[in-house]
Amino acid sequence: EFKTMVKRLHDAGIEVLLDVVYNHTSEGNEFGPTLSFRGIDNASYYRLLPDDRRHYINDTGCGNTLNLIHPRVLQMVMDSLRYWVNEMHVDGFRFDLAVTLGREVYGYDRGGGFFDAIRQDPAMSRVKIIAEPWDIGPGGYQLGGFPAGTAEWNDRFRDTVRRFWCGHDGMLGQLAPNLLASSDLFEHDCRRPWASVNYVASHDGFPLADLVSYNDRHNEANGEDNRDGHPSNFSYNHGVEGPTDNVDIRQIRLRQRRNMLATVLLAQGTPMLLAGDEFGRSQGGNNNAYCQDNEINWLNWEDIPAEEQEFMDFVRRLINLRQEHPVLRRTRFLHGLQISKTNGLRDIDWISPGGGAMSDYHWQEPKARCLGMLLAGDAGEYFTPDGYPETDDTLLIILNAGHMTIPFSMPTVRGAAQWRCLLDTSRPQLAPGEFLLEKDDDFQMEPWTIMIFAMVVTSN
């Protein structure tokens, strides 16, 4: 059945990646049940405290830590992975608490045995590898610290985007590098922008709908007196905690959901969407629903309300927009470099509401909430891996996280005749090209909005 599923998904052009846990087992700590490896060879399969080998090292938060330093344990993990690739034909893996897999005797090592084994393996070296770049052990936060060929969940992107759309002060300077695939974290060792897996919601924490509906966690159903789950979510309920019949609040929540998903899909790097976010799935404010095998976690595809059907249509438009424009998914990092034979643009320009380049003042102004990102379509000839040009439209993406309308002047670009609006999160039904601006026009940028414009060049 699994093989048939994978084949059908492949026939539809969909790759299959498994979320796998090789960092701990269900045997828990030294007081847990004896189910498998503890009874076979406890000292080989688990990492034990050097001074008291009755007790486990717990770098995973689950009571035990698998000992991948031991050759037989590493062999077991690699045999398991190869089975899924060679026999089941999956296309890759997302490794839970991947720092644990790279722990050697003296701590985490991105050149450790597990990563070396993957790189030299004929099967594993050909598939996609995604790391959750942390565990709870010493030095456990390793975002950007994985070897070439590995993508990583970018929680800095997640938190920055959430804070930006919550209206926190001083976010422009933090947002910009994250929109460009976080080169400060991922450009080492010839890594590419796809190494940054950009997201605002995952199976850990609030889903997207709850990010705009709850200020606080509501984990009472988990049976731990609401103590479990992360207390800091960078969420905002817009005036009412949880569901509401207030039309204005419901509309702003929908708009903010559009904004956050648009930010994910318009950023350089690899976008990741949580299943159900495309139709407003809620966990009722539970941000740690791992133990809930019920309506809290289930995906309900029946009786989706009309406003959520419209939201799904908007998500489809976003995905199509990304697929249609290679300028949104460059294969090398953008650094504001001048491009020859173009209209004076650099590969990336940051535009202030006045239409000029962002200055130090704009970047450092704590109350600034609006900026434009100008992506040069002609930069494509410098960014294709096969050496062929892949030019595109020049796109201007404007983000306004403020609560006020902002006057915005279109930038002066040689050869520009008009700017054609492709998408507006404040008007999701707006058709591409329905709203046009002349090359030097000013307009009023709505609050809590993203707009995307394509430059229309002057005809010769």
Does the pLDDT of residue 227 top 60, yes or no?
yes
Topology (CATH) of 2-322: TIM Barrel (3.20.20)
- Report if pTM > 0.85: yes
For residues 93 and 14, the answer to whether their CB atoms sit within 8 Å is: no
- Verify whether residue 216 is a known catalytic residue: no
Residues 6+ apart with CB under 8 A from 114: 68, 74, 77, 101, 102
Does the pLDDT of residue 384 top 80, yes or no?
no
Q: What is the mean pLDDT of residues 401-422?
A: 95
pLDDT of residue 342: 58
Q: Among the options 27, 96, 278, 349, which is catalytic?
A: 96
CATH 3.20.10.10 correct for 335-457: no
Predicted confidence band of residue 345 (pLDDT cuts 50, 70, 90): confident
Q: Report which of 23, 36, 111, 17 is spatially closest to residue 67, judged by C-alpha positions.
A: 23
- Verify whether residue 96 is a known catalytic residue: yes
Give the DSSP H/E element, type plus range, for residue 202.
none
Predicted confidence band of residue 162 (pLDDT cuts 50, 70, 90): very high
CA atoms within 13 A of residue 63's CA, in its CB half-sphere: 11
Domain boundaries, the chain: 2-322, 335-457
Q: Residues of the chain with pLDDT > 70: what percent?
A: 96
pLDDT of residue 387: 60
451 bridge partner residues: 398, 424
Q: Where are the alpha helices (DSSP H) in 65-154?
A: 71-86, 98-101, 113-120
Q: What is the DSSP-derived secondary structure letter of residue 46? A: B
pLDDT tens across 89-125, in order? 999 999 999 999 999 999 999 999 999 999 999 999 9
Does the pLDDT of residue 168 top 80, yes or no?
yes
pLDDT tens across 80-90, in order? 999 999 999 99
Q: Among the options 27, 59, 132, 135, which is catalytic?
A: 132
